[in-house]
Amino acid sequence: MIRLELFGMTCADCAEAVDRALAAVPGVRRVAVDYEAALAEVWGDADPGDLIAAVRAAGYEARLEEAGEPAAAVKNESPSPDLVVIGSGSAGVAAALEAAGRGARVWVVESGALGGTCVNVGCVPSKTLLRAGEAAERARRTSFPGVRPLGVEVDFPAVAAARDRLVATLRKEKYEDVLAAAGVRLVRGRARFTDGRTLVVDGEPVAARAFLLATGAEPRLPPVPGLAADRVWTYREAATARELPESLLVIGAGAVGLELAQAYRRLGSRVTVLEAQPRILPAEDAELAGALQAYLEAEGIRIRTGVRVERVEHDGGFCVRTPEGDFEAERLLVAAGRRPRTGDLGLDAAGVALDEQGFVRVDERLATSNPRIYAAGDVAGLPQFVYVAAQSGRLAAGNALGANERLDLRAVPRVTFTDPAIAGVGLTEIEARARFGEGVRSARLDLQDLPRALAAFDPRGFLKIVVDRDGTVLGLHVLAPEAGEVIEEGVIAVQSRSGYRDLIARYHPYLTLSEGVRLVAQALDQDVHRLSCCA
């Protein structure tokens, strides 16, 4: 007998509708629905996933009832999996581990490199290049009195070899070994749906209670004449290159474009960045973005905003033609966005709807238009951060097995890992004033007024806080070396709707960047120049 918790019923007629829906599921012999207890008992050999899907199709929600773990999976002792995850990146692996931890039989299907974008061609290799460039820059120059840099020689092939060893190690230890230890079966092959219930992997049909799409996204090239995918770099080629170009032209001044631009500039390339928008990092606070541009330009990166690329020509090197003039370089990196990987999955046959940009359409529970199929991470059009992918994967896996959780995206932090870095959460000042009007207040704390920055002789950047008329924190934005290390306090404040005085009341260690959070909150009410440096 299977017991289901029911949600959304408002009357006895609702219970009758659920009864009819469950009775129609193949394998069901008897059904008993208790409206007041919001429970259904089902006898027979029906698949629990089919039962939950039937309840949803009737307009209600259901989850399996089990003591202690209300959203845990019913143990499947047959060779067929409870959940098939398509994709082994951050969302897919997090989903697989979550489902396995609930006692489910899980398969992960992967046609490419295990680990997806982040470990192979994204976060890990790009941040390794950034750190190598930072080490080189510190050896060349310093603002600290009495410390005289002696210069540096960059051996780029050696840097690339170290990066590749790290990627290989993490791929094995954090993906392959972790999945194996959890009892997850890794299936190599291409997956495609033939209908709403059947997945075929390299010609072999796979039946499961539920499926989870975690195929991620891939670089998108804008429709510019002469822009050939087999000639230009995207972040994949830039993050994994083994030779350093003498010059690099970057199209796109978002986080990816700027991070790679600074990494290559510090490792020895001449770098130019072209951006179609009026400013770099359009999603970030305008003041912080403007200040970061000045710092990057002071390092020798040439940045041009408001530039429309008309044509790309390639004859050994690259020439980008624009109304503002021509730009030339040995290599061309296009960092102009990403598109979902959905093309060959057979989603039409599966009855899975896509949005206008081709991303899988999901609800707050990460369910698709097919009640047996869920989606998580970049393919679902969520904010393209590895931590959002992982969280959405965990939540989608639980829901696919009967839970009823909703994804909360109210306080997603953003970090651009340049030096200085930009980190932000919540609304910018412009966004807050557009939404809440003139009652919005903001304050700024220059790092010149932060003891930590003074002791390091590195006062680049500032912090900015945005609050509503009641003092609730709407946003926190930081431009500073290692800004990402301090933004979590802003995440907690925005998510919990804390007041700025709560930030002031907390203990913040002296001579840390986090002390700036308290000081910028204090700056809403008083002149921080009149405070003691230790108070």
Which of 1, 9, 35, 295 does the annotation list as catalytic? 9
- Overall average pLDDT of the 381-386 stretch: 97
pLDDT value for 380? 98
- What dihedral do alpha carbons 142, 144, 147, 149 form, nearest 10°? 0
pLDDT value for 43? 83
Which of 14, 35, 235, 500 does the annotation list as catalytic? 14
Contacts of 377 (CB under 8 A, 6+ apart): 87, 89, 90, 91, 92, 214, 216, 388, 389, 392, 393
Confidence label for 57 from pLDDT (cuts 50, 70 and 90)? confident
User: Rounded CA gap, 487 and 412, in Å?
Assistant: 10
User: Rounded CA gap, 463 and 483, in Å?
Assistant: 9
User: Rounded CA gap, 410 and 383, in Å?
Assistant: 11
Long-range contacts: 203-207, Cβ < 8 Å, 24+? 206/80, 206/81, 206/84, 206/107, 206/109, 207/80
* pLDDT tens track for 423-475: 999 999 999 999 999 899 999 999 999 999 999 999 999 999 999 999 999 99
User: Rounded CA gap, 339 and 364, in Å?
Assistant: 21
User: Rounded CA gap, 465 and 516, in Å?
Assistant: 11
Is 60 marked active-site?
yes
Domains annotated on the chain, with CATH: 2-64 (3.30.70.100), 77-220+337-409 (3.50.50.60), 235-336 (3.50.50.60), 414-530 (3.30.390.30)
Contacts of 266 (CB under 8 A, 6+ apart): 133, 134, 136, 137, 299
Joined together, the tokens standing for residue 190 give 């291409």
- Overall average pLDDT of the 399-408 stretch: 95
DSSP string, 246-298: SEEEEE--SHHHHHHHHHHHHHT-EEEEEESSSSSSTTS-HHHHHHHHHHHHH
Sign of the alpha-carbon torsion through 161, 166, 167, 171? positive
* pLDDT tens track for 510-530: 999 999 999 999 999 999 988
The answer to whether residue 64 scores a pLDDT higher than 80 is no
Which of 118, 175, 264, 500 does the annotation list as catalytic? 118
Is 319 marked active-site?
no
Which of 60, 175, 235, 264 does the annotation list as catalytic? 60
Place of tokens 């209600």: 60
pLDDT value for 225? 95
* Residue-averaged pLDDT of the chain: 93
- What dihedral do alpha carbons 422, 426, 430, 433 form, nearest 10°? -160
User: Rounded CA gap, 274 and 251, in Å?
Assistant: 5
* pLDDT tens track for 285-340: 999 999 999 999 999 999 999 999 999 999 889 999 999 999 999 999 999 999 99
Confidence label for 4 from pLDDT (cuts 50, 70 and 90)? confident
pLDDT value for 527? 93
Is 534 marked active-site?
yes
Confidence label for 172 from pLDDT (cuts 50, 70 and 90)? very high
- Overall average pLDDT of the 142-168 stretch: 93
Which of 1, 235, 500, 534 does the annotation list as catalytic? 534
The answer to whether residue 73 scores a pLDDT higher than 70 is no
Q: By mean pLDDT, which of 2-11, 18-27, 376-385, 520-529 is the weakest?
A: 2-11
The answer to whether residue 393 scores a pLDDT higher than 60 is yes
What DSSP designation does 73 have?
A: P
User: Rounded CA gap, 34 and 16, in Å?
Assistant: 10
User: Rounded CA gap, 257 and 292, in Å?
Assistant: 14
Which of 1, 35, 123, 500 does the annotation list as catalytic? 123
Degrees (nearest 5) of the Cα angle 197, 203, 209? Answer: 25
pLDDT value for 70? 33
Is 9 marked active-site?
yes
The H-assigned helical ranges of 67-122 are 90-101, 116-121
Contact indicator for 239, 113 with CB cutoff of 8 Å: no
User: Rounded CA gap, 495 and 412, in Å?
Assistant: 9
* pLDDT tens track for 77-122: 446 899 999 999 999 999 999 999 999 999 999 999 999 999 999 9
Place of tokens 């120049």: 529
pLDDT value for 79? 67
The amino acid at 240: T
Supply the pTM of this predicted model. 0.85
pLDDT > 90 in the chain, percent: 80
Alpha-carbon separation of residue 375 from 256, 414, 515 (angstroms): 24, 22, 40
Is 533 marked active-site?
yes
| DSSP-based three-state secondary structure for 367 | strand
Q: Are strands 61-64 and 270-275 parallel, antiparallel or unpaired?
A: unpaired
The answer to whether residue 479 scores a pLDDT higher than 80 is yes
Q: By mean pLDDT, which of 41-50, 120-129, 212-221, 460-469 is the weakest?
A: 41-50
User: Rounded CA gap, 433 and 466, in Å?
Assistant: 10
